[in-house]
Amino acid sequence: MLSPILSQSPFRKAQLILLRLALLTAIAIPAFSQVSNIGPLPEFEVATIKPTDKRGAISGAPGLFIASGVTLKTMVGYAYQLRPFQIVGALGWIDSDLWQVQAKAADGMRDEQTFSLMLRSLLADRFNLKAHVETRELPVYELLVDARGLTGMRLSEDQNLPGPPARLPSGQFRSRRGIATSTSGEGMRTFEATAVKVDELVNKLTNELQSPVINKTVLTGLYDIPKMRWATDPALSSAGSIFAAVQDLGLRLVSTKGPMQVVVIESAEKRRRIDFRQPYSIGTIPRMSPARTIITIWQDGH
């Protein structure tokens, strides 16, 4: 159960407060009207937002969206299913202030795409967020097979697609097939994988370089990737860079430019605090049909 968001007061008084909010929020606010071909955005039944000083992550359960200690920029990335480097205009508090969000969808629904659209609607309503999607020419990397051919990674002997990873009672995996492993610490990072597609490596490189990596290897099938090691700051370590680690596999990264979809944040605002006095959690707030009820706790805006 989600934690209560309201302090105690008579039930009837709370109902009147909620009814007033329901009527206010029933007034339509265009949500990302600049984004074409989306149509009306779905909405959460009820949601709470409040500031926090503890950094966390986005998680969830059937019918619930939970973000604990994340920035507005992070939520925009989730709402549009884009990576951080594809978000333009996330300046100041948008990329620094941390928020805690708890939102409930109807009937225990847990669909990633629908949740993303619901979050767009919520951010537009609660942060007055205005944004649009466009395509820009951005720096990207192309992953190619080196002229020498593959030297480190090789085709996996078993080309059958791995099943879901199964764990032994000890917690270890029964089989390493289809599993990629990363480590980080003391200025070093590693990556290795068994029986994975090249796209698994591409995703890792994209996250590390914080720039799009396009797979131009034309390699198909499943590959075993031996442990790659690189320094987060090669100038401070005898270990090589991530580019050198890629070359050890018989691949190379080439810097170029290419079209990339981005979301441009035009404006957003923090609104002033609203205090409530009834101890309801999201699971017990009375439903006000047909109007929706979204209760938000804000820090003072500035």
Return the percentage of the chain with pLDDT > 70, whole number.
Answer: 72
Total count of residues recorded for the chain: 302
Instruction: Name, of 59-63, 128-132, 232-236, the range with top average pLDDT.
Output: 128-132
Is a pLDDT exceeding 50 seen at residue 29? no
Asked if residues 239 and 188 have their Cβ atoms less than 8 Å apart, the reply is: yes
CA distance 109 to 31: 21
What was the pLDDT predicted at 46? 92
pLDDT top residue among 123 and 9: 123
What was the pLDDT predicted at 166? 62
What was the pLDDT predicted at 254? 97
CA distance 201 to 207: 10
Residues forming beta bridges with residue 65, ordered by sequence position: 60, 103
């990363």: which residue's tokens? Answer: 182
What was the pLDDT predicted at 107? 75
Asked if residues 61 and 2 have their Cβ atoms less than 8 Å apart, the reply is: no
What was the pLDDT predicted at 173? 58
pLDDT tens, residue by residue, 98-155: 999 999 988 766 678 888 999 999 999 999 999 999 999 999 999 999 999 999 999 9
Residue 2 pLDDT grade (very low, low, confident, very high; cuts 50, 70, 90): very low
For 165-171, what is the mean pLDDT? Answer: 65
CA distance 232 to 208: 9
What was the pLDDT predicted at 233? 85
Is a pLDDT exceeding 90 seen at residue 75? yes
Asked if residues 100 and 68 have their Cβ atoms less than 8 Å apart, the reply is: yes
For 168-190, what is the mean pLDDT? Answer: 80
CA distance 274 to 15: 16
Identity at 8, one-letter amino acid code: Q
For 230-248, what is the mean pLDDT? Answer: 87
Residue 239 pLDDT grade (very low, low, confident, very high; cuts 50, 70, 90): confident
Range in 11-20, 82-91, 97-106, 183-192 the model is least confident about: 11-20
For 69-93, what is the mean pLDDT? Answer: 94
How close are the terminal C-alpha atoms of the chain, in Å? 33
Is a pLDDT exceeding 90 seen at residue 80? yes
pLDDT top residue among 261 and 36: 261
pLDDT tens, residue by residue, 45-54: 999 999 999 9
What's the pTM value of the predicted model, to 2 decimals? 0.67
Asked if residues 195 and 222 have their Cβ atoms less than 8 Å apart, the reply is: yes
